[in-house]
Amino acid sequence: MAANPEVGTAYYQRFDIGEAENQAEIVESNLDLVVNGENFEDVIKIQEFSVLEPEESDFKYYAPSVGLILEEEINEDGDKIFSSSLQEMADSESNAFINFLDAETTTTVDVSAVANSAFDNVGGFYQAIDTQGTAIDPVSGAEIAVGDAGYEIAAKSSSVGEFGVTTGETWELDAGFVYIPYLLADGADFLTGFAEANIDGLNHVQAVGEQNFGFEDLIGGGDNDFNDFIINVEGV
């Protein structure tokens, strides 16, 4: 989550006038919930709605460093229906990179990307020195862990390439590094599979197939479909 989410904060999730005018608003914060037997603190509750369908309204509950944990829908009879959507952060993050730490030679890979979003997204990979995502400061050479000050700058400085939607590019990836996929959502917000590195404290990338990496490009988790921008890597 953002460091201090405020009740009343509202934003558009999608905006295409007359077609998709989806909005969200933080309606409660600092909640304590028990979901599937697990305790969660500092949970925020977000209402999702659209002026195009004013009769429909859903609520989602997000926990810090976990993401979406519970959804609440109102059926036609006005009854509340709850469903759990706990994200397995450890599993999704552990697979959301290319590990060449033990490789002995440079590897040639083909990279392509498709998009399912109105955003002008830019994807890429940066070099890390371990599977925890540790990056190297470009000036001092110091190791910077995920979540530490200066991490985004260090990660971007270690980028091996960026691209928008593309049918194919060929890259040479050096041995001895882990390659972390990242997204510049709408060309701006830096998002990765490490929740601590992201502006909202949520995971934004999952492995969606063999060497396919799917992104959720909306701050706050959006619809958690992880298909807004999908990178495919061949040759690994």
* CA gap 137, 135 in Å, rounded: 7
Model-level pTM greater than 0.85?
no
Scored b (16 or more CB within 10 A) or e, 126-162 reads bbbeeeebbbbbeeeeeebebeeeebbebbbebeeee
Domain boundaries, the chain: 10-86, 91-234
Domain 91-234 CATH assignment equals 3.30.1370:
no
Check if the beta carbon of residue 44 is closer than 8 Å to that of residue 5. Answer: yes
Residue by residue, pLDDT tens for the chain (236 residues) are 344 567 888 776 566 677 767 777 889 988 998 776 678 888 888 888 887 777 777 888 877 766 677 888 776 666 666 665 554 433 444 458 888 999 889 999 888 888 888 888 899 999 999 999 999 998 899 999 998 999 999 999 999 988 888 767 889 999 999 999 999 988 888 999 888 898 888 888 887 766 788 888 888 877 777 888 888 888 76
